[in-house]
């Protein structure tokens, strides 16, 4: 196992350019376990691209992404997932044709090969795990409902549940409370605090109230570069941040 003192995730000089346009430009930051970090920034700052780069959806053109001391660049997406990184997308990405139970079951982290899938059994262990995750994401009563019939907020929760099934050490959530009611936001905030144990959570969020509620540390991204980093209070009093972002 890697040293507990070492950061879980270290990003060094990460750069990606699309036809000369640098969406992410020489990014450096690191995250520890038990940390809940929020990335904020104006539209086009490169927030989603950073997540895409970490999870392998987009290939970086320069720099390093070290997770548990291993370089992630060049690793295929599914291996990055199995290595311990889960990703929730901006629009809820669940399987609409499958029930909540089946959505969670697909995310169960074993039997990922072709023959593993054919031999996969719904053991009591699997069922128990699915039920406990469903309970954590407030969907215990909805296990037999097809994904398509869930509300927007419930879809968001289901996707968080799918990530929890994978038991990731780094959870990346792109706008997890978008489209949620205030009550749902509150429950989601509590949920995120609860699941932050022994893992790191990286969130992109626009809702400042929500960020203030959950963030341990905030990173402000602007034009692909880090503008500021610190606690929410520090960020709010930072003049440069106010200029480019909060002031708008």
Partner 1 sequence: MKSILRKFLGGREGAVGIALLALIVFAVLPMTLDIFRLNLVGKYLTYGFVAVGLVLLWGNSGVLSLGQGIFFGLGGYCIAMFLKLEASSPANTAIQSTPGIPDFMDWNQITHLPAIWVPFRSLPFALLAVILLPTLIAFIVGAAMFKRRVGGVYFAVITQALALILSLGIDGNQGLTGGRNGITDLRTLWGWDIRTQSAQYVLYYVCGALLIGCILISRWVLSTRMGRLLLAIKDREDRVRFSGYDVASFKVFAFSLSAAMCGIGGAMFVLQVGFISPSLVGIVPSIEMVIYAAVGGKMSLLGAVYGTLAVNTGKSLFSENFPQLWPFFMGGLFIAVVMLFPNGIAGVWQSMRVRFIQLRHSAKRAPALASAPSAPTPLLEGSEV
Q: Which stretch binds partner 1 (CB under 8 A): 83-91, 204-212, 215-223, 236-244?
A: 83-91
**Measured distance CA(138)–CA(187) in Å, rounded:** 9
**By CB under 8 A, is residue 220 in contact with partner 1?**
no
Q: Which stretch binds partner 1 (CB under 8 A): 9-17, 23-31, 114-122, 209-217?
A: 114-122
**By CB under 8 A, is residue 1 in contact with partner 1?**
no
- What are the strands, taking DSSP E only, across the chain? 9-18, 21-31, 36-40, 62-67, 70-71, 85-88, 170-174, 200-204, 217-222, 225-230
Of the residues 17, 26, 28, 95, which one makes contact with partner 1 according to CB under 8 A: 95
**By CB under 8 A, is residue 183 in contact with partner 1?**
no
Tell me whether residue 136 or residue 226 sits nearer to partner 1 (CB atom). Answer: 136
**By CB under 8 A, is residue 124 in contact with partner 1?**
no
**By CB under 8 A, is residue 81 in contact with partner 1?**
yes
Q: Which stretch binds partner 1 (CB under 8 A): 9-17, 108-116, 213-221, 227-235?
A: 108-116
Of the residues 87, 155, 199, 222, which one makes contact with partner 1 according to CB under 8 A: 87
Within 8 A by CB and 6+ apart from 189, the residues are 177, 210, 213, 214
Tell me whether residue 25 or residue 174 sits nearer to partner 1 (CB atom). Answer: 174
**By CB under 8 A, is residue 90 in contact with partner 1?**
no
**By CB under 8 A, is residue 58 in contact with partner 1?**
no
Question: Most distant CA pair in the chain: distance in Å?
Answer: 58
Q: CB–CB of 228/241 below 8 Å?
A: yes
Q: CB–CB of 111/117 below 8 Å?
A: yes
Strand pairing class (225-230; 217-222):
antiparallel
As a dihedral over the C-alpha atoms of residue 224, residue 51, residue 172, residue 56, rounded to 10 degrees, the angle is -160
- Closest distance to partner 1 from the beta carbon of 75 (Å): 12
Burial 6-33 (b: 16+ CB within 10 A, else e): ebbbbbeebbbeeeeebbbbebebebeb
Per-residue contact track with partner 1, 11 to 50, x per CB under 8 A?
----------------------------------------
193: exposed, middle or buried (Cβ count in 10 Å: 0-12, 13-18, 19+): middle
Q: Which residues lie across from 221 on neighbouring strands?
A: 226
**Measured distance CA(151)–CA(209) in Å, rounded:** 23
- Closest distance to partner 1 from the beta carbon of 41 (Å): 23
- Closest distance to partner 1 from the beta carbon of 49 (Å): 16
**By CB under 8 A, is residue 65 in contact with partner 1?**
no
Chain residues that interact with partner 1, rule: CB under 8 A: 55, 57, 76-78, 81-82, 86-87, 89, 93-98, 102, 105-107, 109, 111-114, 117-120, 146, 149, 162, 166
């Amino acid at each position: 196992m890697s040293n507990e003192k070492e950061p879980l995730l270290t990003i060094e000089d990460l750069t990606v350019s699309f036809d000369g346009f640098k969406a992410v430009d020489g990014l450096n930051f690191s995250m520890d376990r038990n940390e809940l970090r929020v990335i904020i920034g104006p539209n086009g700052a490169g927030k989603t691209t950073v997540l895409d780069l970490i999870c392998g959806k987009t290939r970086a053109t320069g720099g390093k992404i070290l997770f548990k001391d291993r370089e992630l660049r060049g690793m295929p997406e599914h291996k990055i997932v199995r290595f311990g990184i889960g990703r929730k997308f901006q629009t809820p990405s669940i399987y609409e044709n499958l029930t909540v139970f089946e959505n969670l079951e697909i995310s169960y982290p074993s039997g990922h090969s072709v023959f593993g899938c054919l031999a996969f059994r719904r053991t009591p262990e699997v069922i128990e795990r699915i039920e406990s995750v469903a309970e954590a994401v407030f969907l215990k009563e909805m296990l037999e409902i097809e994904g398509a019939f869930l509300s927007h907020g419930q879809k968001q929760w289901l996707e968080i549940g799918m990530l929890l099934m994978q038991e990731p050490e780094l959870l990346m959530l792109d706008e997890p409370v978008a489209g949620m009611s205030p009550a749902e936001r509150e429950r989601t905030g509590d949920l995120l605090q609860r699941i932050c144990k022994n893992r790191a959570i990286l969130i992109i969020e626009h809702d400042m109230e929500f960020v203030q509620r959950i963030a341990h540390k905030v990173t402000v991204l602007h034009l692909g570069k880090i503008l500021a980093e610190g606690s929410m209070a520090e960020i709010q009093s930072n003049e440069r941040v106010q200029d480019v972002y909060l002031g708008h």
